[in-house]
Amino acid sequence: MFLRQLTLMREGMNDTAIAAQAAREGALASKEQARISSDTLTKVQRPYVFVYGLSKLKTSNAVSANTPYVEYSVANYGQTPAVIENVGASFYSGTSPSAPLRVDEDHDLLTSSVLPPNDPRSGCELLPEAFIAEDLGIVVNLDTRRNPSASKAHPR
């Protein structure tokens, strides 16, 4: 009788170990599912800011001394408003551009730095004079078909 009780107890312990292992695996699966849900929510809810519609160099009589500029649009396609803390840009023609410089504090994206979701901001302008001394001017060859290397901005 005693041996029979020991056998039944051993079988019960094996069943308990199997149940404990299944509970542990279930808890780990629940924890992983919670992490995936949190990551998904973060990725879906975050702001997604895009710069698009970048134009070629333009000139206008409205801009002093016919300084060339580019127009572009910015939009936040995320579900949370974006707060623009830093804007960097540069003009370059070549294969390995240098790091973009921070734009002036009066730039539109810094003075009105909150981009609501799905509210594109178009007609933004970027002037090269933000990157070089204003009194030096720039030399730009707008006809790059004849001499592509002449399109680089050079101080005078």
Distance (Å, whole) CA 117 – CA 78: 6
SS3 (DSSP) at 134: coil
- Residue in 81, 74, 88 with CA at minimum distance from that of residue 114: 81
Residues in the chain: 156
Distance (Å, whole) CA 58 – CA 2: 98
- What are the pLDDT digits (tens) for 15-71? 888 888 889 999 999 999 999 888 888 777 888 889 888 877 777 666 556 667 788
pTM over the 0.85 mark = no
pLDDT band at 151 (very low <50, low <70, confident <90, very high): very low
Q: Within 10 A of 89 (CB to CB), how many other CB atoms are there?
A: 17
Distance (Å, whole) CA 80 – CA 33: 24
